[in-house]
Amino acid sequence: MRLHDVAAFGFAFLLSAIGCGGVALSPDGGRGNTGTAGAGTGSAGAQGGAGTTGVAGTGVGGGAAGSNGGAGTGASGGSGGVSALGSVTLGLVVPTTTSFCDTAMCGSPGPHITISTADGKDVPTIRPVCGAFCAADGTCDQHLCTPGGACAPPHGEAYTGETINWDGTSVGTSTCGAGIVCTTLPHVADGNYVAHMCATPGTLTMSDGGFYPTCTATGPVECIDVPFTIPSATPVVGSLPGSSPCPATLPAAGSNCSTPGLICDYPGVDPGGACRPRATCVLKTPAIGWSVTQPPSTCGTHPSPCPAAFASIPSGGACPAGATPFQTACDYPEGRCGCVSCFGDASASGTMWSCRAWDAGAGASCPARAPLAGSACSVPDAFCFYGGCGEISIGSDLQCEGGYWQERGIAGTCAVPSCTPK
């Protein structure tokens, strides 16, 4: 369900017809609406107003009514009326290589982000714009349903992702006045929740003589579940898996391409999979074409002066004679070793071995092995350091952006490591 008010009259009327709200929320025991004087509020039960019978806090776990102005003690320590004051920003990123669309009715396309508790219970979040709302004193607060303008017929709308702020408000029901069903707006308890994010791949088309586009689905709904905690100062972002913009196979050099700057790597045949042919879409006036490069002939091997086995190379050990920093690379099925520059005593320069396993990883949310540049990814903005900044490289530095891995250089300079004492 969308986490914002539904503004269109047609949708509001529908909500009114079904009771103007969802089922009362009860995550982690639930917290009721804040009561007024005499209500069962406060962590230990707030004092009620003098001379007045306290009103029970509404919502699940609402405090029991105080009597004659006495302490309005909430059930189980007066939990009624306590609310989560935190909020969270939720975002859904869809790959730019796939088009998504919705069929909107009265200006309201289908929801893309819904919330559930950690144990899978739905958290209703769409609030009605009119009807009866439960007031804190037990009366009914009537919001009149005002007829709006003409509602557009169902039509297609492109979907490119969204960002929303949720303050923890959920939607429930209770009764007010003479037993009238009314909407409550309790805040959920602080804690762990799950954002269920979905979008439908599709294209927009215009029919002959039509005034509105039509959304035609091109595949099943794609979804991702993202756990989060409220409150959270860090935005919670989910990304649908992208589709690679690269050709399925290595293109021919000079053949046409359409995205200048696009880099596409293809699997290598070496044991480590690091010796990858690369195609780069380059602009060469007046045409745009693929530039293709192959890995060096020694890639995937360990020629002299490389030792015979990966395990026999002490990382940090002195490089042998004939080894050149950042040029001598020794590839093995387990990983890669190479000679790098280092600083020794009195800032004297030296060289030493640097070794990394192919599956050593490159940071949080990064695949253990370097993915192919241009391949699909699903962790937006993840930056993965497989390159050799002060150590041997086991791949390109990559960032997940737009639904696929893109090569990114490191800003600034790389620190030269200290030579390991021998």
Query: Over the stretch 44-73, which tens digit does the pLDDT of each residue have?
Result: 333 334 333 333 333 333 334 444 444 443
**The two structure tokens encoding residue 222:** 């794609």
Using DSSP, state whether 360 is helix, strand or coil.
coil
Contacts of 199 (CB under 8 A, 6+ apart): 92, 94, 100, 112, 159, 161, 221, 222, 240
Q: Do residues 193 and 116 make contact, with C-beta atoms less than 8 angstroms apart?
A: yes
* Full strand arrangement of the beta sheet holding 140-143: 140-143, 131-134, 180-184, 172-176
Per-residue pLDDT averaged across 404-409, rounded?
A: 86
Q: Measuring CA to CA, which residue among 298, 275, 294 is closest to residue 358? A: 275
* Range 254-267 average pLDDT: 90
| 373 — pLDDT class (breaks 50, 70, 90) | very high
**Local confidence band at 77 (pLDDT 50, 70, 90 cut-offs):** very low
Classified as helix, coil or strand, 346 is: helix
Residue 274 predicted with pLDDT over 50: yes
Residue 18: predicted pLDDT: 32
Lowest mean pLDDT among 79-83, 308-312, 379-383, 407-411: 79-83
Q: 154: which residues sit within 8 A by CB, 6+ positions away?
A: 103, 104, 105, 212
Which tens digit of pLDDT belongs to each residue from 303-349? Answer: 888 989 999 988 888 888 888 877 778 999 999 998 888 887 666 67
**DSSP codes, 18-43:** TTSS-PPP-GGG---PPP-TTSS-TT
Which residue(s) pair with 228 in the sheet?
A: 193
Helix (H) or strand (E) holding 13: helix 9-17
Residue 64 pLDDT: 40
Nearest CA-CA partner of 92 in 238, 309, 231, 203: 238
Tokens of residue 36, six digits: 């007024």
Has residue 350 got a pLDDT over 70? Answer: yes
pLDDT at 208: 67
Q: What is the mean pLDDT of residues 179-198?
A: 94
